[in-house]
Chains A and B, each alone.
Chain A
Amino acid sequence: MTEIDVATIERESPAEEPGRRFLFSGWHLVLLPIALVMVVPLVWMTVTSLQTLDETRHYPPSLVPTSFEVQNYTDVLRATPFVRWFVNTLLVTLATVIGNLVFCSLAGYAFARIKFFGRGIVFVAILATLMIPFQVTVIPTFLIVRQLGMIDTLGALIVPNLAGAFGIFMLRQFFVTLPIELEEAARIDGASRLSILFKIVLPLSGPALATLAVITFLYTWNDFFWPLITIYSPDNMTLQLGLATFQGAHATNTNLLMAANVMSILPMLLLFFVAQRYFIRGIATTGLKG
């Protein structure tokens, strides 16, 4: 894919000689303020989520916990179909990720290895959709989804996103780099295209598939514009949309709002810590491929 070994980002970089390692470095003076700016909003959100409403209306504000109102969290769960939103988002995200893995693998393999009629022009047409901003297509896509009777259902969120040009392109580029000899040997032995894809190609494509899965997961989980347009019933909302409506209704209950926010961020944060490598690889490869 790229020559740059993105996995090394997480490792230590060999920029300074080992002897200086434990001396105070001037770079702390740069890094500490940056890190604080990044972290303080998140810390303060968490602190606020554990305060009473009176404490949130207090000046000067406190950056350290002043109380431990876990009740805020249960209040949110009681006041909103939060669990429902979470399950909806999980369903939509998993379906989208699986759809992309399956359909983009199939199509990516076809574009990489099978010579079929119209391959070149179809591939170019697919790539063209990558350059069109979503705002251009959103109104007709809404009309099509409405025609299909999917407005205000989870189907509206899943079906249009089951396959994407980005995934096809990315996997095709990866499949092309795999050694073709294994596949040719299997063909001579009479293996079908499908079994070659599933038994030989995909097992070799773990990193590429993981990267696509993580990017699709991040994008789908955090999407807001499309759910905002297609979903109206509270029971069918995703976490992001539900959070936005909750914010609209409880703008002054800052402690509850922050508790809801913490709960919405937490799953993604956990996934990030577990799969940090793939997150970073995914982001770095989208970046470097341009």
Chain B
Amino acid sequence: MNVRRAIRSDHVAGWAFASPAVLLIIVFGLVPIVWSAVLSFQSTNLLKPPVWVGLRNYEALPNDPFFRKAMLNSLIYTVLFVPLSVAGGLLTAVALNRRIRGIRIYRTAVFVPVVVSTIATAIIFLWVLDPNFGIANFLLEKAGLGPFGFFESRHGALYSMVAMTVWGWIGFDVIVYLAALQGIPHELVEAAQIDGAGTPGIFRNVTLPLLGPVTLFLVVWSTINAIQLFDEVYLTTNGGPGTSTYVPVFYLYRMAFLNGVAGYAAAIAYVLFAVIMVLTVVQLLLGRKLVYLST
């Protein structure tokens, strides 16, 4: 019958349509996920045949001073980067969400760094934060501060990394917050005004709770990105001075592609993945509760 033929042709058509993308994702997505898990139980330099070592890669990680330093740096970086970029993004979005003269110029100024690549950003900031000729020390000196060593100082390098990446990422948070702010129904704000609420009260009791889900998303998203920091470190400090900007993905890259310890690097990748998963789940659970309580 026609119906049966139509259904059978649906199976064929469905697979015909989906298979190119599915095949690509299997070969370059699903297979590597499993393969990487296998690698993390092996010792291999990507050239010679691998040797099975069981859990030894994972057991070695906690005692590896470079890995510990990288995780500590990553923790400090994430704890600074996430609140600064999300809260800064919120403040900027609220300021940008109004009718004043020149608002388009302000918006464009804030959005533009989003399309500047991480490499270009790193090159710009190496120059802006140059200890001798950089504009940052010049301006800070006028304010009676500094001079600072920035990327060249053991104490300042990681904080300089935070400043640079907040500059590069904050536009993303602003765009997301602006979209959310514009989605808040005017009736709610007007109703609150009629009830006699002032601007700070409306912000705290109407706007902020409604931004809960978006904030939760941005916190999760920024945390994931913060833990995966690589490009900027590679280009500005190469992990230095000393190990003061060693971060996990940078260490992973060195291990796998420069030192030829791919199994060990795969173990780092899986530990990182586990950390990201746990943090995401915790943030989502805590966040859901907070978002729910405040609405």
- Partner-B contacts on A (CB < 8 A): 2-6, 8-10, 12-16, 18, 21-22, 25, 27-28, 30-31, 34-35, 37-42, 44-45, 48, 56-61, 63, 103-104, 106-107, 109-111, 114-117, 119, 122, 125-126, 128-129, 131-144, 159-165, 168, 193, 197, 218, 221-222, 224-225, 228-229, 240, 243-244, 247, 254, 257-258, 261, 264-265, 268-269, 271-272, 276, 279-280, 283-284, 287-288, 290
Contacts and interface: CB of A to CB of B under 8 A. Distances in A.
Contacts of A106: 17-18, 20-21
Interface stretch (B7-15, B52-60, B72-80, B151-159): B7-15
Chain B interface mostly helix, strand, loop or mixed?
A: helix
A131 B274 CA distance: 11
A268 B115 contact: yes
A3 B182 CA distance: 11
Nearest to B105: A35
B110 A38 contact: yes
B98 A13 contact: yes
Contact of A283 (B114, B124, B133): B114
Interface in B40-69: 46
A106 B17 CA distance: 5
B84 interface: no
Interface of B: 7, 10-15, 17-18, 20-22, 24-25, 27-33, 35-36, 39, 46, 91-92, 95-103, 105-107, 109-120, 123-128, 132-135, 138, 167, 171-172, 175-176, 178-183, 186, 213-214, 216-218, 220-221, 224, 228, 230-231, 234-235, 249, 252-253, 256-257, 262, 265-266, 269-270, 272-273, 276-277
A284 B175 CA distance: 6
A141 B28 contact: yes
Nearest to A58: B133
A136 B270 contact: yes
Contacts of A279: 111, 114-115
A155 to B, nearest CB: 12
A269 B182 contact: no
A57 B132 CA distance: 9
A265 B120 contact: yes
Nearest to B263: A139
A57 B130 CA distance: 11
Contacts of B24: 103, 159-160, 162-163
Contacts, number: 314
A12 B127 contact: no
Nearest to A281: B179
Closest 10 pairs (CB-CB, A-B): A116-B14, A287-B176, A4-B183, A137-B32, A140-B32, A140-B35, A110-B17, A107-B21, A222-B117, A284-B179
Given A104-B21, A240-B117, A61 B133 contact: yes
B103 A163 contact: no
B231 A9 contact: no
A107 B176 contact: no
Contact of B176 (A110, A240, A272, A283): A283
A28 B31 CA distance: 53
26 contacts: A2-B179, A4-B182, A9-B107, A12-B99, A14-B99, A34-B106, A38-B171, A39-B109, A40-B128, A44-B127, A44-B135, A106-B17, A117-B11, A117-B15, A126-B25, A137-B28, A138-B32, A139-B269, A193-B13, A244-B234, A247-B119, A264-B117, A269-B112, A279-B111, A287-B217, A290-B213
A282 to B, nearest CB: 9
B229 to A, nearest CB: 11
Contact of A193 (B17, B29, B95, B221): B17
Contacts of B110: 34-35, 38
A41 B128 contact: yes
